Chains A and B, each alone.
Chain A
Amino acid sequence: MSDGNDGTQFDRLPATDDERVVDGRPTRSAVLEWWDERFGVSPETFDGHTFWERGSGKIWAFADDVASPVAVEGLGLAFLRTRREHWKPTLEAVQRFGDAADDCVIHLAREEAATFVAGDDQELDWDGDWGYLIVTTDVAGGSEPVGVGLYVHGELRSQVPKGRRREL
């Protein structure tokens, strides 16, 4: 299928715009640039990973490489949604790669972080950009990425998916 997206298979992202076959499919270079510009995660962080799209705008990171397209149920980690204007990383991507971030990272006290993990929104002060932020808190003596929050109008809206929410 080179004429569109197919929800039953994974297609490797084109390296650059010149190699794009499917309209609107993000390129590898655009994905690398986005992580770098938004969160300060350097492109080298993903040197060992290939990027794939299954369905429209669902991007996966895979630690190996195979012939594209490939019809399987999963290929690495679902790590980015690119369908809407503002791209959104997944909780799993942030937990896995977010420790390399130094921008748009909001550090929460333990109780605030518990509110976030429960899926609840909260009013918080934040001087940085609005939009999707990486939420961190201190666990076992170090700052750890927990998930993704949406910061707008003085409020941090938890984006923790229902299946990952916990009352801690």
Chain B
Amino acid sequence: MDVLERYESLVDDFDAFRAACERPLPSVVRVNTLKTTVERARAALDEADIAHEPVGWHDGLFALPEDQPGTNWPYVLGWIHGQEEVSAVPAAVLDPQPGERVWDACAAPGSKTTQLAALMEDRGLLVATDNNLGRISALRSNAERAGVTNVAVTHEDARNHSLKPFRAPESDEREGAPYDRALVDVPCSCEGTIRKNPDALDDWELDHVEGISGVQKGVLRRAIQTTREGGTVVYSTCTFAPEENEAVLDHALAEEACELVEFDLPLASTPGVTEWQDESFDDSVERAKRIYPHHNDTGGFFCAKLEVTAE
């Protein structure tokens, strides 16, 4: 079946959307500012004769039109990390500060984790959780290559995330203090990665979308529960399905003390949708942003910013 057809009613220029989904994406790298500066990373790419172009909206992202990251000096030194352009959006929106307590709920393989650590200048506590040991191995390897020292990695189902390991030293607390910020970049049907993975939609099933939506709701709720009042939670996916995006937000708004807030994004996007098939969602889901491949010549993405409120 043609999965993308189901979004024709949502997308502004459906032909342009279809055409963009057919085009492959270049490799993009993010400069790891824990180990170098953007200027020196550029100089190292020049020295290695690797063509690189800034992506425009983010100082530390470069497209490599002719190369893959991985076998060059800046990579060996942990100065650059391969990361799709739109995948750099949610950590930038979360905007963690040095010294804060931050949770990355679905962290492996660690592109966003290492970006969060860099934004925190490697200070404070960054808890990175995943439920898959093999992927945790990749997460740890990426965090170490990036030189991150403020990350604690946990292996658990994020829906049941425990704060117990993060009690203050010599304290009588039963669990650690709540987070200032949490990133909920959940596993999803990955429709928006079609330009990177042409077979991304081959195994698409509505049952899978609906099933994974339940997991997404559980992870987002746990993130809100473990974040302090006034703290920030960012929810993101790389998929177009409203079942995995606005429906998940709508559920969290109904069940947890939180609200969706406006945010700026230096990329073109459209608001979250309030109606999909037979369902309607809270009006405030319009504050979320849908990034379609034809908007900025990137992968597809969805991102929402929530503030935790009083019960």
A63 CA to B165 CA in the complex, in Å? 16
| Cβ 8 A contact of A63, one of B74, B123, B128, B155 | B123
Distance to closest chain B CB from A8 (angstroms) = 11
Residue B171 interfacial (CB < 8 Å):
yes
Contacts A63-B123, A95-B35; A139 near B73 (Cβ below 8 A):
yes
Q: Is the CB of A72 within 8 A of B154?
A: yes
Chain B residues with CB below 8 A from A166, complex form: 70-71, 75-76
Q: Which residues of A contact B (CB under 8 A)?
A: 12, 48-49, 61-68, 70-78, 90, 92, 95-96, 117, 139-142, 144, 146, 163-164, 166-168
Selected from B43, B148, B165, the residue in CB contact (under 8 A) with A140 is: B43
Name which residue of chain B comes closest to A9, CB basis: B165
| Chain A residue nearest in CB terms to B124 | A64
A-B contacts, 11 of them at CB < 8 A, read A63-B122, A65-B168, A65-B169, A66-B125, A66-B169, A74-B151, A96-B35, A140-B43, A142-B40, A166-B71, A168-B73
Q: Closest Cβ of chain B: how far from A48's Cβ, in Å?
A: 7
Asked if B265 is at the interface (CB within 8 A of a chain A CB), the reply is: no
**Chain B interface (Cβ < 8 Å from any Cβ of A):** 35-36, 40-41, 43-44, 47, 70-78, 122-125, 128, 136, 140-141, 143-145, 147-155, 165-171, 176
A96-B149 in contact given A64-B125, A73-B155, A141-B40 (Cβ < 8 Å) = yes
> Across the two chains, which residue of chain A brings its CB closest to B34?
A96
Query: Is A66 within 8 A of B153, CB to CB?
Result: no
Does the CB pair B44–A140 fall under 8 Å?
yes
- B44 CB contact (under 8 Å) in A68, A75, A96, A139: A139
Kindly list the 3 A-B residue pairs having the minimum CB-CB distance in the complex, ordered from nearest.
A74-B153, A63-B150, A140-B43
